[in-house]
Amino acid sequence: MAGVEEVRAGIALANQKMQESIAALQQGNLALEEAQSALVTATQGSSQEEMQHAHGSLAEVMQVISGVQAQISATINATEGYAGRL
């Protein structure tokens, strides 16, 4: 079994990678917000069901990404707590 310092180092690396993934997800969400804005502008006034579905789908995807970010943050908090108790 790995020593305490090795475990802490592994947790620190994992947390760094998780932080990087949160940043990437934030960038993705920003791009989706821009896409949604462009879509709203392009389809303003349209009552076509497929466009309403597209708008709803984008909003749902952005919510899911936010949820994933929150789950990753909770995981980081849990692993930091564990490392602190070692």
Whole-number Å distance between alpha carbons of 60 and 41:
19
Q: What is the mean pLDDT of residues 5-26?
A: 97
The pLDDT of residue 1 is 67
Residue 2 has pLDDT above 90, yes or no: no
Q: Where are the domains of the chain?
A: 4-84
Whole-number Å distance between alpha carbons of 13 and 11:
5
pTM for the full predicted model: 0.86
Question: Architecture of domain 4-84 in CATH?
Answer: Orthogonal Bundle (1.10)
Reported as a pLDDT band with limits 50, 70 and 90, residue 46 is confident
Top pLDDT among 48 and 15 is at 15
Residue 58 has pLDDT above 90, yes or no: yes
